Amino acid sequence: MDLERLILDRIRDIPEYPKPGVMFKDITPLLADHVAFAGVVDAVVNHYGRGTVDKIVGIEARGFILAAPVAYHFGAGFVPVRKKGKLPSRTLEETYDLEYGSETIQMHADALGPGERVLIVDDVLATGGTAGATAELVRRGGGEVVGLSVLMELSFLHGREKLGNTDVHALVTV
């Protein structure tokens, strides 16, 4: 079975979660399948190639699950990007707009060294707000964004368009 089919067969839709009108993409069946999970991690590493990144930035919360093993396989450090107020040391923060309101994310101010090559990893690219804000945090922190790798891109939300020249690597696009 090809990787795309393996991924799609292991992501279940949960209608009306976490609120009415949302179709939640549940990746827990994929994570529970060692072949699918390993395939996802290997595909990200193979796409960018070992030695091409210094740090992997994972976006809270499901991005952490994918980013940590990717960092391990790259021999790179892992940097969490979290919602405001969740990190214990001095932070950089970036606020971005949501459909109704705004959200603020943070990264430790000392997480990146000047010129470090950074791959951002998350589970889903939807509207591009979180990914764009994360890329801005990386740049403000002194890093160079090598790309954004996601398990799934929801193309009907046009998030890629908000990311400018950022290389976007989606394992599945729906």
Side-chain-side CA neighbours of residue 92 (13 Å): 21
Residue 107 burial by Cβ neighbours in a 10 Å radius (0-12, 13-18, 19+) = buried
- Among 62, 94, 116, 153, which one carries the catalytic annotation? 62
Look up 116 and say whether it is catalytic. no
Structure-block tokens of residue 91: 């932070």
List the catalytic residue out of 4, 93, 99, 161: 99
For 163, the token pair is 């990311």
Give the Cβ contact number of residue 64 at 10 Å.
17
Q: Are 157 and 126 in contact (CB under 8 A)?
A: yes
From 76, 46, 43, select the one nearest 58 (Cα to Cα): 76
Taking the CA atoms of the chain, what radius of gyration do you get in angstroms?
15
- Alpha carbon distance 120, 146 (integer Å): 8
Cα 25 from chain centroid?
14
Positions marked catalytic: 62, 99
